[in-house]
Chains A and B, each alone.
Chain A
């Protein structure tokens, strides 16, 4: 256990070194935040109460979403992309020598990265948004605890998906194609292009049941207090998908071990 903690801490420190990138990223998130607020203000002005959100819910959604894109890894995250690259280049052999579990090793790396980005990249846009708009914040320590738990579980759901995508490189040699496809699904079904509550009819039902919903939409709904099945239901939904994804990840890791041929060089 100690070794995984150590990896997470070092991964946290590693990501804290890119300061200028962090500043320009937070600036870009804030610019997008203002643009989307303009769009959602118009949308909720035309249809008040759309998807069960009021205007303040929609605006809070925007700033939470902008802050969470990077920590949760909606566009993919540098840790799992690096894993895919290591499989392609053959450097994965070094990872396999280690007396540690491959999936847990990379999960620790990813959590360390996510925690740093959550604090810095998640906080700044929210602060900017709260200065300009009247945003909603969770009330009471229990709600804050639920939000924290929902965020960690969201990162784990996202990791579960990204780990499977990275491992696809064992079979197709290049994970960049599957990463692009995964990003498309993630953009669409996580609530990034539009909150999933706005998706109409059966399509909405379907979108809200996918694992991607558990990465962004579900934690934000916990924050807003708008979880359709309550906080317990939301956390259980995330836990269920984590279980499925990590089991699949474990299975795929074992299959990969059996067929791994490290390319020479």
Chain B
């Protein structure tokens, strides 16, 4: 088990590297895709900027604090999309039966589907989110402590893992319902849109749902509240953000079970 996990990054990198070399064969097209990818994700933030031409605070959050939410949301989603976003292509392989090839190779099918058509241009979105994060942090007077520093790093890693789990669960569901690729967009891209805003603005029912049912609040909201020293909603303790790794671990476990269950259901096309 441990040995298999240790081998995974190398195997992933080998497959991703193959796709990187193939993409870089068309440098102009690569540059265009990267630039437009960055511009398309930044439109979300432009929407927030346009809102702030009319308002001074959104649900009790200033523009700089909104930028921090946007940056952490895009960063976690960007990392997850870069590493596992391609997994949603599995539906095509299920339909055509070409998933068979993945099952006979000496690399886990999960790693092969996650690295399928690895798109290096998605790095642009991660860098863009990092830039906004740095700018936002210089604009906000964070009372830095060791706990808050750790929270920022741990929060980003946990958030990325939660989004990775959604991508994987969405792909696993495609084994049951083919053509359902768009369904997982509700949780992945929908989750990104939701976490760009202070969740308390959506009402206590939504906060309860994204805390206890679909743990999107742990992606960035609770870690950011901890960073800013703001009160947590629902009477939860202010250190609730430190539980992000627990939420991520639960989601990863669900995703692993889901993926295994899906793969076991796979019946090839017989062609």
Interface residues of A (CB under 8 A from B): 18-21, 23-25, 27-28, 31-32, 35-36, 38-39, 42-43, 46-47, 50, 174, 176-177, 180-181, 183-184, 187-188, 193-194, 198-200
Contacts and interface: CB of A to CB of B under 8 A. Distances in A.
Contacts of A23: 180
Contact of B54 (A32, A180, A200): A200
Given A24-B182, A193-B43, A180 B193 contact: no
B182 A43 contact: no
A28 B185 contact: yes
B249 interface: no
27 contacts: A21-B179, A21-B180, A23-B180, A24-B180, A28-B182, A32-B186, A35-B194, A36-B193, A38-B197, A38-B202, A38-B203, A42-B201, A46-B55, A174-B29, A177-B36, A180-B36, A181-B32, A184-B36, A184-B39, A184-B40, A193-B44, A193-B47, A194-B47, A194-B50, A194-B51, A200-B53, A200-B54
Contacts of A39: 197, 201
B181 interface: yes
A181 B36 CA distance: 6
Contact of A38 (B178, B179, B201): B201
Interface in B197-218: 197, 201-203, 206
B54 A27 contact: no
B177 interface: yes
B50 A199 contact: yes
A47 to B, nearest CB: 5
Contacts of A184: 36, 39-40, 43
Given A43-B51, A43-B55, A193-B47, A35 B179 contact: no
A19 B180 CA distance: 9
A174 B47 CA distance: 30
Nearest to A177: B32
Nearest to A30: B186
Contacts of A46: 54-55, 57-58
A27 B180 CA distance: 10
Given A28-B186, A47-B54, A38 B206 contact: yes
A214 B201 CA distance: 32
Q: From DSSP, what is the main secondary structure of chain B's interface residues?
A: helix
Contacts of B181: 21, 24
Contacts of A31: 186, 190
B29 A177 contact: yes
A20 to B, nearest CB: 4
Given A20-B178, A177-B29, A184-B40, A32 B193 contact: yes
A36 to B, nearest CB: 8
A191 to B, nearest CB: 11
A20 B177 contact: yes
Contacts of A27: 182-183, 186
Given A31-B186, A39-B197, 20 more contacts: A19-B179, A20-B178, A21-B180, A21-B181, A21-B182, A24-B179, A24-B181, A27-B186, A28-B182, A35-B193, A38-B202, A39-B201, A46-B54, A47-B54, A174-B29, A184-B36, A193-B47, A194-B50, A198-B54, A200-B54
A18 B202 CA distance: 33
A183 B40 contact: yes
A28 B43 contact: no
Nearest to A180: B36
B250 interface: no
Contact of A188 (B29, B43, B185): B43
A38 B55 CA distance: 16
A60 B190 CA distance: 19
| CB-CB nearest 3 A-B residue pairs | A24-B183, A38-B202, A180-B36
Interface string B26-41: 0001001100110110
